[in-house]
Copies of this chain bind each other. A is one copy, B any other.
Amino acid sequence: MLEQLKQEVLEANLALPRYDLVTFTWGNASGFDEESKLMVIKPSGVSYDELTAEKMVVVDLNGHTIEGELRPSSDTPTHLELYRRFTGIAGIVHTHSPWATSWSQAGLELPVFGTTHADYFNGAVPCTRPMTTAEISGDYELETGNVIAETFETKQLSPLEVPAVFVHGHAPFTWGASPADAVYHAVVLEETAKMGSRTRALQPSASGISSALLDKHFSRKHGSHAYYGQAGKEESR
């Protein structure tokens, strides 16, 4: 069942320590099959070197385990809420990567300080508001997904054009057209968060590049006028 997606989700999870995005088991990746409306996700608390495609857990959009012996990631309700709310995404990654987590802990959005950012994110990466005590005491992981979606609605951001968020006092989530795409965006976010911290240290008043430069770089790699790489987006990676 969903063997290819399980393999993709396995590879996405294994990529997280390889890109130095996780310590211990502090991260997880999932994939979503649009046709069957099923999600494949990492089992909870299993170390990356013990993961296999068979250990992946298949869950439906209501959170019921459809296949798999292990308990799914404790962040499962967050992933599900994002697949329900953000139409068109098919992969999600959550890590506690240190630079992006520092921005989450600072409660700040990451401005578009340069073209590295503009090549992948069409605007600042937002930070959610702090969660309320009611949300935390209630269905916490579901509410985490909810506050992410609320952030994009309130700020009128497109999740397909800004595929990343900082959860306030917590850590980042990224997503994309596939599990591999979500991993890619997690790496980009960590790099741009690192450079953003250093930019701000050098120039506290730095506010970012012009909207013309942002538009130019984002459209160079995305949409019908893209001209980076050999053909489409995937190949250019």
- Chain A residues with CB under 8 Å of chain B are 23-26, 43-47, 70-71, 74, 96, 98-99, 101-108, 113-116, 130-131, 133, 136-137, 140, 169-171, 184, 187-188, 191, 194-203, 206, 208-210, 212-213, 216, 220, 227-230, 235-237
In the complex, chain B residues whose CB is within 8 Å of the CB of A105: 113-114, 195-196, 199, 203, 206
Q: How far is the CA of A116 from the CA of B203 in the complex (A)?
A: 23
* Shortest Cβ distance from residue A200 to the other chain B in the assembled complex, whole angstroms: 7
* Shortest Cβ distance from residue A114 to the other chain B in the assembled complex, whole angstroms: 4
Instruction: State the copy count for this chain.
Output: 4
**Contacting residue for A169 out of B24, B113, B200, CB 8 A:** B113
* Shortest Cβ distance from residue A48 to the other chain B in the assembled complex, whole angstroms: 12
In the bound complex, do residue A212 and residue B102 qualify as a contact, i.e. CB atoms below 8 Å apart? no
* Shortest Cβ distance from residue A235 to the other chain B in the assembled complex, whole angstroms: 7
* Shortest Cβ distance from residue A163 to the other chain B in the assembled complex, whole angstroms: 16
In the bound complex, do residue A212 and residue B133 qualify as a contact, i.e. CB atoms below 8 Å apart? yes
